[in-house]
Structures are given as C-alpha cells and as structure tokens.
C-alpha cells in the first residue's frame, strides 16, 4: 500500500477575488497523519483544502512531499461534500476506473483494481449501478473508492459526510478510520462537526473566523482508536473545542452587531 506524504504550509496566504481568506498560516502535517480542520463556516478551511488540492494558486508556500504544489495531481485525492462530483453518466465501477483509464491501464486490469477498492469501501454490490440509484452514503463511498484507486499519498476530504444522516455518518466515520489505517495515507479532513473531528483526528486544527483567518489552536489527541465519545478525556476536549469555536462565532456576530439578538434568544430559551 501507499504511504503518506508530509504537507507543509509556510506563511501561506490565500486570496479569492481580491479578498484575503486565510492569512499567513504555518502548519506542518506529518506523513501518515490524520488532521481535521475545524472552524465556523466561512473560516476558510475549505479554501485551505482547495489550495492543498492544487485548485488555487498558493505561490510556492505550500509543499506536499517537499515539492511545491502547482496544480491538481493524483498524489492528492479529493473527496467532495457533494456527490455531484461523481460522473452521473458512468456506473459506480466506471467512476472508480476513471483514474486508471486516464493512465491507459488495460480494461481487465483496471476492472480488477476497481473491484478491489469497491470491496474495500463495501460497494461491490452496487458496482454496476449509476450514482443516481445510490443513497447519499453509498455515493460518498464511491467517491472514496474513486480516489483510493489512484493510490494517493494524501487524501483531502471536504466535509464529506456533511449532507448525510447521523447514522450513516457514524458508519462512514468508522470506515474512514479503518481505511486510513489500511492505506497509511495522510488525511486532511475538513469538518464543522466537533465530535467527528474527535473521533477521527490525530490533531485538530481550529481556525479563527474569516476573513484573514489564521490558526486558533492545535489540539493533539492521544487517545486509542476507535475513540469513545463517553471517555472523560474526549468530553473535556469537546468542551474546549466548543468554547474555542463558540468564541469565534460570537466574535463575528458581535462584529456584525448581532450579538445582542443572540443574547436575548438565549434568555428566551
């Protein structure tokens, strides 16, 4: 199996349409590490992920496996929140075969490879279906298989389970945990769900509210996998993260003059 690559952000600033979204971020992610980016919506965590994916110019301040990122590449697989990212005109297996087919792999060989990864994500039964016939959870599994087939050293996940119901989300979180350990790849996982981050990550990076977002805190989690939400250490961590992020949300609302409305709502509740 593939092994992970390290990711280095060195004073990274990202600008979208003239607005500085994230500002001078320093972060080193070790090879094979599982890092969650956590923060209020609009804090630029997806922007950061898009930069690592190579969708945005990063001016050489961003290195993966010690090489500057200059564009998208198969060493960095991306799982998107929306299953619109799947190709609806291809069956699930054909979607997974997409990468190997681009590289000119022989039909039989790539079908075998695709079937291997489909079974890894538990989708063998649905291989010949089109994405529209699948549930939301299955579509995300298909996206994961389509990325893993390229044997990336980094997997970038942008709120991949944000649109799923709670039960499906829980199942898929365990799956990602397992796949991460099987493949040994580096995972950067964007989420706004604190529990999701606690269940999965080696380290949780929280961000300040944008614009010009920076890193607020970095929490290293040294608890055994699979994580137990009822563990007192998990609970303490949850409270800390909730307060950190809550403070950011309140700060933004206050800046917008909405904090008083919020306070009165809390009283009413």
Partner 1 sequence: MTEIVQVTSTKLNPLRLSMSSGLNRIGLAALSILCGLFLWNIASQHTSPLFLPSPAATLQAAKELMEDGTLVHALLASSARIASGWALGVVVGIPLGIVMGRFAPFRQFLDPYIEFFRFIPPIAFVTLAVIWLGPGEAAKVALIFYTSVFIVTLNTIAGVQAVNPLRLRAAASLGAGPVQLLTTVIVPSTVPFMVTGARIAMGNSFLTVVSAEIVSADNGLGALIWTARNFARTEWVFVGIAALGMLGYVFDRVLRIVVALLLRRYQPTT
Cα end-to-end distance, the chain, whole Å: 52
Considering only 53, 118, 201, 241, the residue that binds partner 1 (CB under 8 A) is 53
Closer residue to partner 1, CB minimum distance, 87 or 112: 87
According to the binding rule CB under 8 A, does residue 138 interact with partner 1? Answer: yes
Choose among 33, 28, 45, 40: nearest CA to 222: 33
Considering only 14, 49, 51, 126, the residue that binds partner 1 (CB under 8 A) is 126
- The nearest distance, CB 65 to partner 1, in angstroms, is 16
Closer residue to partner 1, CB minimum distance, 46 or 206: 46
According to the binding rule CB under 8 A, does residue 90 interact with partner 1? Answer: yes
Question: Three-class SS of residue 249?
Answer: helix
Helices 136-148 and 107-120: crossing angle in degrees, nearest 10, is: 130
- The nearest distance, CB 179 to partner 1, in angstroms, is 12
According to the binding rule CB under 8 A, does residue 98 interact with partner 1? Answer: yes
According to the binding rule CB under 8 A, does residue 162 interact with partner 1? Answer: no
What is the total count of residues that contact partner 1 (CB under 8 A)?
A: 43
According to the binding rule CB under 8 A, does residue 129 interact with partner 1? Answer: yes
Give the whole-angstrom CA distance, residue 269 versus residue 265: 6
Helix-then-strand count for the chain, H and E: 8, 10
Query: Three-state SS across 136-157?
Result: HHHHHHHHHHHHHCCCCCEEEE
Q: Where does residue 59 fall: left (phi above 0), alpha (psi -120 to 50 degrees), or beta otherwise? A: left
Considering only 17, 66, 132, 265, the residue that binds partner 1 (CB under 8 A) is 132
- The nearest distance, CB 102 to partner 1, in angstroms, is 5
Chain position carrying tokens 């944008």: 210
According to the binding rule CB under 8 A, does residue 130 interact with partner 1? Answer: yes
* DSSP sequence for 141-208: HHHHHHHHTT--SEEEEESTTTTS-HHHHHHHHHHHHHHHHHH--EEEEEES-HHHHHHH-SEEEEE-
Choose among 125, 128, 158, 123: nearest CA to 138: 123
Q: Which residues pair with 22 in a beta bridge?
A: 14, 213
Pattern of binders to partner 1 over 13-52, x per CB under 8 A?
----------------------------------------
- The nearest distance, CB 85 to partner 1, in angstroms, is 4
According to the binding rule CB under 8 A, does residue 166 interact with partner 1? Answer: no
- The nearest distance, CB 84 to partner 1, in angstroms, is 5
Task: Specify the stretch interacting with partner 1 by CB under 8 A; choose among 28-36, 163-171, 204-212, 229-237.
Answer: 163-171
- The nearest distance, CB 107 to partner 1, in angstroms, is 16
Question: Three-class SS of residue 54?
Answer: coil
Which residues contact partner 1 (rule: CB under 8 A)? Answer: 53-55, 71-74, 76-78, 80, 82, 84-90, 98-99, 102-103, 122-123, 125-126, 129-130, 132-135, 137-138, 141, 146-147, 150, 167-168, 171, 175
């Amino acid at each position: 199996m593939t092994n992970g690559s390290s990711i280095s952000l060195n004073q990274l600033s990202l600008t979208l349409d003239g607005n500085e979204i994230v500002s001078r971020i320093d972060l080193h992610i070790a090879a094979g590490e599982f890092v969650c980016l956590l923060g209020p919506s609009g804090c630029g965590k997806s922007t950061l992920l898009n930069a690592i994916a190579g969708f945005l110019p990063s001016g050489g301040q961003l290195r993966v496996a010690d090489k500057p990122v200059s564009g998208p590449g198969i060493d960095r697989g991306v799982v998107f929140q929306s299953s619109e990212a799947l190709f609806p005109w291809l069956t699930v297996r054909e979607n997974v075969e997409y990468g190997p087919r681009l590289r000119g792999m022989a039909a039989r060989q790539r079908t075998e490879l695709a079937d291997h990864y489909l079974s890894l994500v538990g989708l063998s039964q649905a291989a010949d279906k089109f994405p529209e016939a699948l549930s939301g959870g299955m579509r995300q599994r298909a996206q994961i298989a389509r990325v893993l087939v390229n044997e990336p050293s980094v997997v970038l996940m942008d709120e991949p389970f944000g649109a799923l119901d709670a039960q499906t989300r829980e199942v898929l979180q365990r799956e990602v945990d397992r796949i991460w350990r099987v493949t040994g790849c580096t995972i950067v996982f964007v989420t706004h769900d604190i529990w999701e981050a606690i269940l999965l990550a080696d380290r949780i990076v929280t961000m300040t509210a944008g614009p010009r977002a920076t890193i607020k805190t970095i929490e290293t989690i040294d608890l055994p996998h699979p994580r137990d939400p009822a563990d007192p250490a998990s609970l303490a961590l949850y409270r800390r993260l909730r307060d950190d992020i809550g403070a950011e949300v309140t700060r933004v609302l206050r800046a917008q003059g909405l904090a008083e409305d919020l306070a009165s709502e809390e009283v009413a509740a």
